[in-house]
Structure 1
Amino acid sequence: GRSLLAGQHFDVINAVASGTQVALEVTWSGALAVPVGDLAAGQVLRAHIATFLEFRDGKITAQRNYDCYERLRPATD
């Protein structure tokens, strides 16, 4: 994945904790470093993510992600 992306960014929109569990609402964006199919280098991909973490002794012991990617649109000339 590193060779495909020129950079990426995560924004935490919301976080809720209860006991040993944390739920995060996150938006992700990543700019392509190289063309992929109909997508041009530099095109930005975006996703909305729900992440659920479980902790034990200060360490993450489980993680579940549910990703919803925005529709990909081929680059226009």
Structure 2
Amino acid sequence: MHAAAEQGRRTIREQRFEVLGAVASGDTVALEVLWTGVLAVPLGDLPAGHVLRAHIATFLEFRDGLIRAQRNYDCYEPLRP
């Protein structure tokens, strides 16, 4: 897991998470998030500086004020050079 995280830091120069919406029900919060990441290095046919985008649904379950569980569902936009 640490190796994958380090590889990600070398591949993505910067990233941003924008919360587009949130809904709460009981101890669960659902978030709609837009993620953007800028490539630090070329990746396949994509040049360094290319912006990647993903639409993410995140579900957080809380207990005693702490996050007990998290589930993410990611949908990446098609890669186009």
| TM-score between both structures, scaled by the size of structure 1 | 0.92
Determine whether 1:10 maps to 2:10. no
Q: How does 1:53-72 map to 2 (within 5 A)?
A: 53-72=60-79
Structure 2 unmatched ranges of 5 or more? 1-7
Determine whether 1:39 maps to 2:39. no
AA in 2 matched with 1:46: R
Please state which structure has a larger fraction of its residues in helix. Answer: 2
Partner of 2:34: 27
Q: 3-state SS of the aligned residue for 1:51?
A: strand
Q: Structure 1 runs of 4+ off > 3 angstroms? A: none
Determine whether 1:51 maps to 2:62. no
Mapped to 2, the partners of 1:61 and 1:35 lie a distance apart of 37
Mapped to 1, the partners of 2:19 and 2:33 lie a distance apart of 5
Q: CA RMSD in A?
A: 0.7
Q: In percent, how many aligned pairs have the same letter?
A: 73
| TM-score between both structures, scaled by the size of structure 2 | 0.87
